[in-house]
Amino acid sequence: MERLLIRVDLNITPEHARSHARFHETVDAVRKGLREARQIILLSHYGRPGGKRMKAYSLKPFQSLLAHALRMPVGFLTDPFKPSLKQQMRERVILVENLRFWPGEEENQEGFAEALAELGEAYVLDAFSILHRAHASIVTLPRLLPSRLGWHAEREVRAISRVFHPRKPFITLLGGAKLSTKLPVIQKLLEEDATILLGGAMFFTFHAAIGRRVGTNPVESSFIPVAKRLLRAYGDRLLLPTDGVTRDGRIISLDEDYTEPVWDIGPATRTAWKAYVRGARMIIWNGPLGRVESSLHREGTRELARAFPSKWRAYTLVGGGDTLEALRLVNIPPRRFSHATPAGGAFLHYLAQHTLPGLEALGWKT
C-alpha cells in the first residue's frame, strides 16, 4: 500500500506530550502502520478552536516531537484542501494540521471528509476517546475508504466491553461533579444489576431528592425527579455517603440535614464501601470521590483504590482522565487495575449505549 491514513488523538498539550499515553500510542500506531504502507498520513484534533485557525491549537509543535520519537523526518500538511501542498509531501510520515481548524470536521460535512479521503488509500481509526463524536473523520470518512478499527482503539473496546457481561458481585464507583453527564450510565448499570457507590458531588442531588437540606452544596434541581425515581426503583443498590469531610476537614453526618460544604466521603462511608469493593468480582470506576486537588480530601479516593482486589481475582476497569489524575495524586499506579483508560466521554457513552458512532461507522459489532 502506498498511503495509509491513521486517525489518532493528540488532544494533549505539547509540553506534556512525551509523558502522555496518547502520544506514545500515536508513535506506536505509526510504527505499526509503516509495516503496511510506504507513507503514513496522521489526522488529529487539538482543543476547541471552533472551526478557525488559532496558533495556540496548531499541531505544528507535534511535528518535531514525533520526528524525535520516531527518529525520522515528519512532514506537516497545513491544508489538506490544497493539492499543490499534498504533492510536496515526500516524508514517510505526514502530520495534517488540526482538523478542527475547518468547520467541516465538527459539522460532519461530506466535502471535508472527501478531501481527507483523497490523502490515502485506506483508513485506520485509532482514537477511541473521540469515537462518541459524530464528526467527519469519525463517521463519514470510514464510508469513503477501506477502513478498520485501530490497534489501540480495539484494545480499549475489547477491555471495556468485558463489563457488558458482568460477573457478580458487580460494583461501580462513580464520582465527579455533574450528575447530568453520568445519569445514562447510572440508569444502564442499575438495569444490569450493578451496585453503585455514588461519591463526588452527584450525591447532593439524591440527598435533595429524599428531602434532605444540603446547604450550598451543588444540586442539579432538574434531575431531582429522576433521582427520586431511581431511589424508589433501585434504592438498595444505589448507595449514598452517610458521612462526609467538610471543606475545613471536619467529619459530619450526612444522615440528616447539613449546611457545610462537603468535599469528600467520610470514614464510616469509606469503611462500608471498602467491604463492597473487596468482595466484588467486577468493578467499574469513573470519577474521584472527593476534591482530590485538596490534600485534605483525598482519603476517600485513596482508601477505596487500595481496597480493590487484585486483577487476578476481579476484573477492574478505571476510566476518565480526572480519575487517572486522582489516582496519581494518591500514588496508585494504573497497572494496579485490569484496564485503565484516559477516555472520559467515549468511556461513559460506551458503557451507557454499548455502541459508539465511530464503531457503527466501521460496522463493528460488540
List, run by run, the mean pLDDT of 10-residue segments along the chain (366 residues).
94 88 94 96 96 95 96 93 70 95 97 94 97 98 97 96 94 92 94 95 95 95 95 95 96 95 97 96 96 93 95 94 92 94 93 96 86
Angle between helices 60-70 and 21-33 (to 10 degrees): 60
What is the CATH number that goes with domain 3-152?
3.40.50.1260
> What cell numbers appear for 229 in the block?
425515581
> What cell numbers appear for 345 in the block?
466521554
- Over the stretch 290-326, which tens digit does the pLDDT of each residue have? 999 999 999 999 999 999 999 899 999 999 989 999 9
Q: Is 155 helix (H, G, I), strand (E, B) or coil?
A: helix
Q: What is the mean pLDDT of the chain?
A: 94
| Residue 185 CB contacts under 8 Å (≥ 6 apart), including other chains | 174, 286, 348, 351, 352
- Over the stretch 252-301, which tens digit does the pLDDT of each residue have? 999 999 999 999 999 999 999 999 999 999 999 999 999 999 999 999 99
> Domain 161-352 is of which CATH architecture?
3-Layer(aba) Sandwich (3.40)
Shared fold status for 3-152 and 161-352: yes
Q: Where are the domains of the chain?
A: 3-152, 161-352
pTM of the entire predicted model: 0.91
Number of helices (H) and strands (E) in the chain: give both, helices first: 15, 15
CA atoms of 150 and 128, how far apart (whole Å): 9
Cα dihedral: 354, 356, 362, 365 (round 10): 0
CA 180 to each of CA 202, 222, 323: distance values in angstroms, whole numbers, following the listed order: 9, 9, 17
Phi and psi at 9, nearest 5°, equal: -125, 100
Phi and psi at 300, nearest 5°, equal: -60, -50
For the sheet with 262-265, list strands across it: 251-253, 243-246, 262-265
Phi and psi at 255, nearest 5°, equal: -85, 0
